[in-house]
Amino acid sequence: MDSMTSSESDRWLKDGQLRSYRGCMSTTERQHHLDAVRAFAMLLGIVLHASLSYFESGWAVNDGVDSEFFAVLLIAIHGFRMPLFSC
């Protein structure tokens, strides 16, 4: 951590963990294309939750016919969708 500037080192605690600071917002210009990607990911959330009823997932509503396609679809969507909403 010796190569950091004083403003960067202020964010770090002595044990090397990053101190929580004001969210993930930066002072740079907003990137609207990332908002569009997140909006699309939210719409995929509807597809994700609808697919839960087509295989044994513990969801309250179950179609009764298991479909491996919807299980794979859920894994594919969930695998990249949730990290888009983290900092």
What are the pLDDT digits (tens) for 19-76?
A: 554 556 566 788 889 889 999 999 999 999 999 999 888 888 888 888 899 999 999 9
CA 45 to chain centre: 11
Q: Can you give the residue range of the structural domain that contains 55?
A: 27-85
Residue 68 in domain: yes
Which tops the pLDDT comparison, 6 or 51? 51
Taking only the tens place, the pLDDT of each residue in 23-36 is 565 667 888 898 89
- Structure tokens given for 65: 């016919």
Q: In the chain, how many domains are there? A: 1
Residue 80 in domain: yes
Q: How far apart (Å, rounded) are the C-alpha atoms in residues 72 and 28? A: 38
